Amino acid sequence: MKKVLLVFLFSLLFESFLFADSQESESAVVFMYHRFGETKYPSTDIRLEQFEKHLEYLSQNDYVVWPLSKIVRYILEKKSYLKKTVALTIDDAYKSIYKEAFVRLKKLNFHFTVFVNTMPIDNGSKSYMSWEQMREMSVFGAEFANHSISHDYLIPREGEDKEAWQSRIGREIEIAQKRLQEELGAEANQNPKLFSYPFGEYSAETAEFIQDLGYIGVTQTSGAINGHSNTKTLPRFAMSESFGDMDGFLLKLNTLPLPIEFLSTLEPLVGNENPPQLIIKLKYPIKNVGCYLSNGDAIPVKWISEREFSVKAENRLKSPRERYTCTAKANDEKWYWYSNLWIIK
């Protein structure tokens, strides 16, 4: 009997190792940048020496760098990823992408994804790239996706009815898509169609409408992605001067999606209940889950059962945005990670 029990326990342990390896193989990490070497904008800028160290590490440690569209196709087609798969994405199409990032990415033959808000390009803004520069970049592994026309907020405005709201954001998205295809070719942002939410803000209704228009929604909420990720709200890790040091980069590079079976809400808009409560049910038990606000303050974790817990900040969340981020050690190198966006108006 004792021998049978030992064999059973060994089998469970072996299966857990296989499961962890499967999770690693089938997940990917997506990074988001905005500006490069524009130090007067520290909240959206990455210093060039920081960016170079990110790329050097990926290159020297055998990471596979794919455009985001390829990773999303693998999700939709339920294919397994290669191990150590990463996507590098850039929002807003600032000129420093062409002047600084492109030459560094091209040198390493790294493909990347740029989300374009088209109005400043069409208006000839000196702060943004031109269509001609984007066409040049597309020859060397850049893909361009939808970030709306004007980078407007897409959440319904006060007093805006549903018809007016859908007309407004539908126009923002579809005209931007038309401009991408007119300037960069009929296949631009088609397989699949990707959309990055301006300011990273969305409501449950917005995300549903984006999906109905045929787009994959991409956020600024941190976390890794896999075949179970919500394609209305795919997360990315934002990189800036404050978070771009190598310790932070490597921590985020070594993350896995927290295995969530159920969330109590998919609505990020905070209503009368502030601070909001979030209940998370895991697919299997995980020890030492810790949850935190954006400033690093810990949030109490209350376990409801072996696989279910609730988190609720101790004080009211402040406008405009906040997150509950929950992490746990997966193995010696990897961390489970999930970040839940809250929008406070």
pLDDT digits (tens, 9 = 90+) for 286-295: 999 999 999 9
Tokens encoding 271? 């209503």
Residue 345 pLDDT: 81
Residue 20 pLDDT: 43
Residue 333 pLDDT: 87
Contact 259, 64 (CB under 8 A): no
Domain final residue, candidates 212, 235, 255 = 255
Residue 198: inside a domain: yes
Tokens encoding 312? 């609720």
Residue 3: inside a domain: no
What angle, 0 to 180 degrees and rounded to 10, lies between the N-to-C axes of helices 162-184 and 204-212? 50
244 & 276 share domain? no
Residue 251: inside a domain: yes
Cβ atoms < 10 Å from Cβ of 10: 10
Residue 334: inside a domain: yes
CA distance 16 to 121: 50
Contact 35, 41 (CB under 8 A): yes
222 & 287 share domain? no
Domain count of the fold of the chain: 2
DSSP string, 251-266: HHHTEEE--EEEES--
| Alpha-carbon radius of gyration of the chain | 21
Q: Which residue has the tokens 């394609």?
A: 231
CA distance 225 to 230: 9
CA distance 27 to 16: 17
Query: Residue 284 sits in a domain of what CATH number?
Result: 2.60.40.1220
Task: Give the global pTM.
Answer: 0.92
For residue 234, what are the domain limits? 25-255
Contact 280, 257 (CB under 8 A): no
Query: Residue 249 sits in a domain of what CATH number?
Result: 3.20.20.370
Q: Pick from 285, 302, 263: which is nearest to 336 by CA?
A: 285
CA distance 117 to 147: 5
CA distance 254 to 277: 28
167 & 292 share domain? no
Contact 148, 229 (CB under 8 A): no
Contact 276, 316 (CB under 8 A): no
226 & 265 share domain? no
CA distance 234 to 30: 9
92 & 234 share domain? yes
CA distance 38 to 40: 6
Residue 230: inside a domain: yes
86 & 192 share domain? yes
User: Residue 87: beta bridge partners?
Assistant: 30, 66
Residue 19: inside a domain: no
Kindly give the parts of the chain with pLDDT less than 70: 1-25
Tokens encoding 235? 């997360």
Domain final residue, candidates 231, 255, 279 = 255
Residue 76: inside a domain: yes
Sheet (strand 277-282) strand order: 260-263, 277-282, 308-312, 301-303
Contact 30, 76 (CB under 8 A): no
85 to 132, 140, 144, 187, 335: CA distances (angstroms): 30, 19, 20, 24, 16
Going by their DSSP bridges, the two strands 277-282 and 260-263 should be labelled as: antiparallel
Strands (E) in 92-238, as ranges, are 112-116, 142-146, 193-196, 215-218, 237-238
Contact 81, 71 (CB under 8 A): yes
Residue 81 pLDDT: 80
